[in-house]
């Protein structure tokens, strides 16, 4: 069992003061975080965005 990962939206460069935190397995966090970045922050989905999100994941 691997530990959970956390993506803290406050650490993500954003024009909104978003305080969302997403926690789960890396796959779960990536799925939700990409969706959130695209739909709530207007980012463009792609390898660049995914790389950025992956880089901000922290161990819980």
Which residues contact Zn ion (rule: CB under 5 A)? Answer: 9, 18, 20
Q: Least distance (Å) from Zn ion to the CB of residue 1?
A: 28
SS3 33: helix
Q: Least distance (Å) from Zn ion to the CB of residue 45?
A: 15
For residue 8, what are the CA distances in angstroms to 1, 25, 29, 32, 55?
22, 14, 10, 12, 11
DSSP 8-state secondary structure symbol assigned to residue 56: T
Residue among 1 and 41 whose Cβ is closer to Zn ion: 41
Q: Least distance (Å) from Zn ion to the CB of residue 33?
A: 9
């Amino acid at each position: 069992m691997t530990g959970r990962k956390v993506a803290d939206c406050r650490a993500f460069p954003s024009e909104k003061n978003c305080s969302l935190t997403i926690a789960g397995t890396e796959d779960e966090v990536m799925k939700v975080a990409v969706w959130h970045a695209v739909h709530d922050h207007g980012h463009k989905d792609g390898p660049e965005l995914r790389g950025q999100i992956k880089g901000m994941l922290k161990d819980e």
